[in-house]
Amino acid sequence: MPQRHVEPAPVDSTAVFKNDIFKGKVLFCTGGGSGICKAMTEAVMRHGAHAAIVGRKLDRLQASAEELAAATGNQCLPVQADVRNPKLLQEAVAKTVEKFGRIDFVICGAAGNFLAPISKLSENGFRTVIEIDTLGTYNTIKATLPHLRASKGSYIHVSATLHYRGTPYQVHVSAAKAAVDATSAVLAVEEGPHGVRSNVIAPGPIAGTEGMDRLSAKGPAAQDYASFVPLGRDGDVRDIANVTVFLFSDAARFITGQIFPVDGGCEHLRTLPLPYPESVVDPEAVTKMIKPRL
Residue 18 identity (one-letter amino acid): K
Cβ atoms within 10 Å of 292's Cβ, excluding its own: 8
Catalytic site includes residue 120: no
Strand-pair partners of 250: none
Pairing of the two strands 76-80 and 50-55: parallel
Catalytic site includes residue 177: yes
Q: Which of 13, 64, 154, 159 is catalytic?
A: 159
Q: How far apart are CA 286 and CA 221, in angstroms?
A: 10
Angle between helices 136-151 and 86-100 in degrees, nearest 10: 30
Q: How far apart are CA 68 and CA 46, in angstroms?
A: 9
Q: How far apart are CA 160 and CA 177, in angstroms?
A: 6
> Where is 260: in which H helix or E strand?
strand 259-262
Nearest to 136 by CA among 164, 112, 152: 112
Dump the DSSP string for 15-46.
Answer: GTS-TTTTTT-EEEEETTTSHHHHHHHHHHHH
Nearest to 248 by CA among 172, 148, 166: 148
Q: Which of 34, 177, 184, 198 is catalytic?
A: 177
Q: Which amino acids are annotated catalytic? A: 159, 177
